[in-house]
Amino acid sequence: MSWPSTLRLPLARWLSIRILALAIGTAVVVATCMWLRFAIWNATILRNMPEADRAEFKYLEAHPDRDKKRLVQLMNQYYGVTYVVPEIGNADWVALGIMLVATMPAIVILAWWMARPVSRQFLHVAQSARQVARGDFSARAPLLAHVPQEFTELALDFNEMTARLQSYEREVRDSGAILAHELRTPLNAAMGRLQGMIDGVFPADQEQLQTVMRRLGLLNRLVDDLHLLSLARAGQLVIEKSRFSLADLIEERLSWVMTHIESSAVRVTCEIDPALTVEADRERLGQVCSILVDNALLYAADGSELAIRVSMEGEQLLFIEFADRGPGFAPESLPLKLDRFWRAESTRTRHTGGSGLGLSIASAICTAHGGSLAVANRDGGGAIIRITLPLSTSAAATGHRRA
């Protein structure tokens, strides 16, 4: 939960407003008390004056130039000489001191009350930090209203940090068992095939050896994928950029799976500028294209379609979209779409195989290029996966190629 920015002030302004409000409020209270004291004291003296003296005093008070001597005489008589002789010990100064002392507790309580939101926000963050220190990464610091912007941002950053820690913890916990399964499957198959050849169950011929090699190849690919993700997470994924034709790259990757495309009766349409060149790692970006094409062919129903479109936003961003008409993603699974080892059980079913690393790898490569990868469901059914790349390393031309 976050509060509107209008409720979050910078710390300097937040403190200034409260200090000024406290100082002005204190001055107003003391001045009001002094005015009330004088008003009551003056009313009491006037009420106790004889009628004639009171009438004369009010007249001279309104017209002091008529008889200044008599006015001073009446003031000395009823108000006392200390009223007109300034000294530190007169009643006004004593009253002022008493009022300041009396208002001190109220000022302290008010200051504590005004600073309470900050202390409470700190307390929430500290309590949540203690939970995290005990291993509870689900802890979140509540966000309070009317606190400085810096403290709100501190709580937001803390919550984001704990969310990431919780995600990493879940990933480590879940990926351990999944990784063991993914590694064990091709390894057991290869070992079983070799043991069968040793025991004479299978002939030790070229076909059996190729079967073993395919299994070991799957195992090697999985290890390579995990290594790539580890490098990407550590920020060590090497990107070797060069300028090349994006249309040629996509056509090349489509040609690699053309047999599969034809057998699946999937209609592929491309809308790409034939003169568009990009400055990127050709091999890595080609790997992303292959992953997304394979993903669409794997889940799209027979006779479906795969639409590949390239568009630009001004001179800043380049978009590459892969849209299919398969089952799409369950709405609740979209936040998990780029998690390592994740595969949707309800729509893009597990029996199709794969390690679930494809979209994570594609996302990591796009991130290493300074871009991103996003997945959403397509209107009318199917999924759409969009690659976003910065045009700071791309050059565009006009025209489109359709295939």
Per-residue pLDDT at 308: 92
Residue 208: CATH number of its domain: 1.10.287
The tens digit of pLDDT for each residue in 165-219 reads 887 777 777 666 666 766 777 788 888 888 888 888 888 888 888 888 888 887 8
Query: pLDDT tier at 37 (50, 70, 90 boundaries)?
Result: confident
What's the CA gap between 239 and 73, in Å, rounded? 99
Q: Give the whole-number percent of the chain exceeding pLDDT 70.
A: 80
- 212-221: long-range contacts at Cβ-Cβ below 8 A with a sequence spacing of 24 or more? 215/186, 215/187, 215/189, 215/190, 216/186, 216/190, 218/186, 219/183, 219/186, 219/187, 219/190
Per-residue pLDDT at 84 exceeds 70: no
| Whole-number Cα distances in Å, 84 to 45, 80, 88, 372 | 15, 8, 13, 82
Band (342; pLDDT cuts 50, 70, 90): very low
Write the Ramachandran bin of 199: left for phi over 0, alpha for psi from -120 to 50, otherwise beta. Answer: alpha
| 278 and 193 assigned to the same domain | no
143: which DSSP letter? P
372 with 318, same domain: the answer is yes
Q: Are residues 325 and 248 in the same domain?
A: yes
Locate 204 and state its tokens: 């030790």
- Looking at the structure, tell me whether residues 228 and 125 fall in a common domain: no
Co-location of 19 and 143 in the same domain: yes
Task: Say whether both 223 and 94 belong to one domain.
Answer: no
As a whole number of angstroms, the distance between CA 216 and CA 189 comes to 9
- Looking at the fold, whether 62 and 173 belong to one and the same domain comes out as no
Of 233, 268, 302, which residue is a domain's last? 233
pLDDT tens-digit map of 113-131? 777 777 777 788 888 888 8
In the listed set 233, 257, 275, which residue is the last one of a domain according to the structure? 233
**Where does a domain end: 216, 233, 250?**
233
What is the number of structural domains in the chain? 3
Whether residue 2 has pLDDT greater than 50: no
Q: Which of 70, 143, 36, 403 is closest to 248 using CA atoms? A: 403
Query: How many Å apart are CA 290 and CA 286, to the nearest integer?
Result: 6
Residues 398 and 257 in one domain: yes
pLDDT of residue 123: 82
Domain boundaries, position 198: 150-233
pTM score, whole prediction: 0.54
Tell which residue, 325, 317, 319, 314, has the closest CA to residue 382: 325
Q: Are residues 109 and 173 in the same domain?
A: no
**Tokens describing residue 199:** 């025991």
Among 322, 296, 324, 325, which Cα is nearest to 308's? 322
Q: What is the CATH number of the domain that holds 387?
A: 3.30.565.10
| Domain shared by 389 and 248, yes or no | yes
